[in-house]
Homo-oligomer: A and B are copies of this chain.
Amino acid sequence: MTIDYREKIWCEKNKIHLDFNYVMQEFIGPEQGLFEEDFKSLDTKINHAIEQIKNKHAEKKLEWMNLPYNQESVVEEILNHAEYVQKNFESVVIFGIGGSALGPIALQQAINHPLYNELSKEKRKYPKFYVADNIDPERLVYLLDVVDIEKTLFIIISKSGSTSETMSQFMIIKNLLDEKNKELAKKNIVCITDETKGNLIKIAKREGYKTFYVPNGVGGRFSELCPVGLLPAVICGIDIKKLLAGAEFMDKNFSDEPKNNIATKFALINYLAMQKKQKNICVMMPYADSLKYIADWFAQIWSESLGKAVDNDGNLINIGQTPVKSLGVTDQHSQVQLYNEGPFDKIIVFLEVEKYRKNIFVPKTFEDIDGISFLGGISHEDLIHAELKATEFALAKSKHMNMKIILPEINEFVIGELFFALELATALMGEFLNINAFDQPGVEEGKNATYAIFNKPGYENKKHELENMLVKRQDYFV
């Protein structure tokens, strides 16, 4: 029996929602809370932002918005290739960083077994999954302790083909494969990169590697729904058609009710929280281990898109909410003390799961022990729901702004909705703030300084600047 992911009742049942009661003044008071008039006063701004998104989309500047629609043949190619990979490889390793890593990690953690790699081959069914998104020198060496490179597929992801971290990992692994057998690299390397530009496609073509493309106009942090996210997902048994159907459903929600959907509301509330109530921190706190890395993925898209020095009119604004990753209930024993009693400088966004995939009941083991006997007979699902409710309540009571994204359950469709909603929200927030949400000029300085340190041609001036930096003082050192 196949489910039709476009069937209306099924979609509505799997629709994600936003509960923003506890950002409103009725619940957290007029000093910290928002008023209905605050929303109304932004009406022109909202209309303009929606208009801008539509226009930019029409001008082919937001190509990530097409990903739910235009990948039919790519998806087929990915499904075919994944089948080959599943049959021929024991492990998959992603070499990629930033968006090329965070999306695949978040999706894998959301859908698959949390101890996937430790499952027996029979239970796991698909290849083991690793992401090497750092150049910590220990990391790659230790990874090679557990994977047999001859039976490992390496997915090299770099849109530009110039990412130093990824390219250096690629060079190391290419060499190791060549040392084993000159034919191996051709079989064990797949590249996901720009179709025409950059060094990675150049090398891939010359060496005869299998390639998939990051479509034109899809930047790293908006790339999860293109082959960057799709290929590794399928290899590990994740249903990408269902994922894309969720994204499509969210996109249609936005088209149908541009002002009254989760993405627009999410952006709007954060905008008001920042501009009216100085909430310069946005905490994302999923109440589910499986959604922990969604907060990491969100931290990237939110901070890299919206942390900007200059607005579209050239004004110096140095703006940006700082995203904070948290996890319920775990961080109730870590961060929540601060959230409850600390400064009124943050908005907390909970992710709630209505129905978990598994549940376990606490037995009535110690009925004679006062203080814990009340736990007997309740389930962990009951407990986690109660703790979220209690935390929301406590935060609202202490007048700390919080809202909640509600996921009916965790499946690919729902995660597709969530990814797409937060991508849309990011784009809308960029419009509200009048900034470019799609560039990252602030990472250039560090990149260029790295190039200069290694004497890359063309960076002589930067080298000179580094050499002429003020010398550090020994008395500013203990």
Contacts and interface: CB of A to CB of B under 8 A. Distances in A.
A319 to B, nearest CB: 6
B171 A376 contact: yes
B325 A325 contact: yes
A227 interface: no
A97 B450 contact: no
Contacts of A357: 138
A408 B452 CA distance: 25
A303 interface: yes
A318 B342 contact: yes
Given A340-B445, A445-B340, A372 B199 contact: yes
Interface string A239-265: 000000000000000000000111001
Contacts of A203: 366, 369
Interface string A188-202: 000000000001001
A175 B363 contact: yes
B384 A135 contact: yes
Contacts of A167: 372, 375
B299 A334 contact: yes
Interface stretch (A17-25, A51-59, A230-238): A17-25
Nearest to A382: B454
B380 A136 contact: yes
A280 B337 contact: no
Contact of A387 (B265, B342, B450, B456): B450
Given A137-B359, A308-B342, A454-B378, A220 B333 contact: yes
Given A318-B342, A446-B340, A476-B21, A142 B164 contact: no
Contacts of A143: 115
Copies in the complex: 2
A171 B446 contact: no
Given A202-B369, A443-B333, A119 B146 contact: yes
A415 to B, nearest CB: 15
A289 interface: yes
A446 B391 contact: yes
A162 interface: yes
B472 A21 contact: yes
Interface in A275-329: 280-281, 287-290, 296, 299-300, 303-304, 306-310, 318-320, 322, 324-325, 327-329
Contacts of A339: 307, 442
A208 B243 CA distance: 51
Contacts of A362: 168, 171-172
Nearest to A34: B476
A344 B288 CA distance: 33
A142 B142 CA distance: 26
Interface of A: 17-21, 24, 26-27, 97-99, 101-102, 113-115, 117-119, 123, 133-143, 145-146, 161-162, 164-165, 167-168, 171-172, 174-175, 199, 202-203, 220, 260-262, 265, 280-281, 287-290, 296, 299-300, 303-304, 306-310, 318-320, 322, 324-325, 327-330, 332-346, 356-363, 365-366, 369-372, 374-376, 378-384, 386-387, 389-391, 393-394, 397-398, 440-443, 445-457, 466, 469-470, 472-473, 476-478
Those 9 A-B pairs whose CB atoms lie nearest each other, nearest first: A307-B338, A98-B333, A390-B449, A320-B342, A340-B442, A137-B380, A341-B442, A309-B341, A394-B445
